[in-house]
A and B are shown apart, each in its own frame.
Chain A
Amino acid sequence: EVQLVESGGGLVKPGGSLRLSCAASGFSIGSYCMNWVRQAPGKGLEWVASISSTTGYTYYTDSVKGRFTISRDIAKNSLYLQMNGLRTEDTAIYYCAKNIYSGYDNSFDHWGQGTLVTVSS
């Protein structure tokens, strides 16, 4: 059974850093494109970042480029999101999601339960 479990969320001051983790089981993250998607409280979904399976290429939404870094540890079967220079508008539930295929697209077929990041002074 595919499972994704996020951790690492919490309260951080503006300008601070956090590292989110997503532990995967039931499949190998090296075989699928993996993603982070966020949802601000009471708002809609926003794609944040993706990492493709075969090449390891990374992709980011414009608002996080240069501040966030998506990475993976295939041996640990875990996905990460390093978030630096956090802003109040980054406050959201962050979801880890797996693609149906190895390639980069929007077929997010399995999701974690999410981890809440709150950026506030």
Chain B
Amino acid sequence: QSALTQPPSASGSPGQSVTISCTGTSSDVGGYNYVSWFQQHPGKAPRLMIFEVTKRPSGVPDRFSGSKSGNTASLTVSGLQAEDEADYYCNSYAGSNNLVFGGGTKLTVL
């Protein structure tokens, strides 16, 4: 199974919105509503931010939202804050009992 495609980097100023894309195929992102997004700060374990494309776990600010169109899923962070600076990874169910991650996007808050 091939990794999902994410931009290596993204950036925005405090208060702005930024969207990170996650592109797959009809065999993974496009074929199932099982896309998750994870935030990882340096030296820390990942944190679940979005699951099943649009759902937020308890405790995740509503500034974080997920969506999907065709074979591309997106994570939008609104009202950027300094603590949002981190690496973000998408993950999708890829059929045949496989899960695949994206390569990760480093989000910088300018």
Contact = CB atoms under 8 A, between A and B. Distances in A.
B51 A100 contact: yes
A47 interface: yes
A32 interface: no
Given A100-B57, A107-B51, A107-B52, A44 B46 contact: no
Given A106-B36, A106-B51, A45 B89 contact: yes
B91 interface: yes
Interface residues of B, number: 26
B99 interface: yes
Contacts of B57: 100, 107, 109
Interface residues of A, number: 21
Given A46-B101, A47-B99, A105 B34 contact: yes
Given A44-B89, A106-B91, A112 B34 contact: no
Interface of A: 37, 44-47, 50, 59, 61-62, 95, 100, 104-109, 111-114
23 contacts: A44-B3, A44-B103, A45-B89, A45-B91, A45-B101, A46-B101, A47-B100, A50-B99, A59-B97, A61-B98, A62-B1, A95-B45, A100-B51, A100-B57, A106-B35, A106-B91, A106-B92, A107-B36, A107-B51, A108-B48, A111-B45, A113-B45, A114-B45
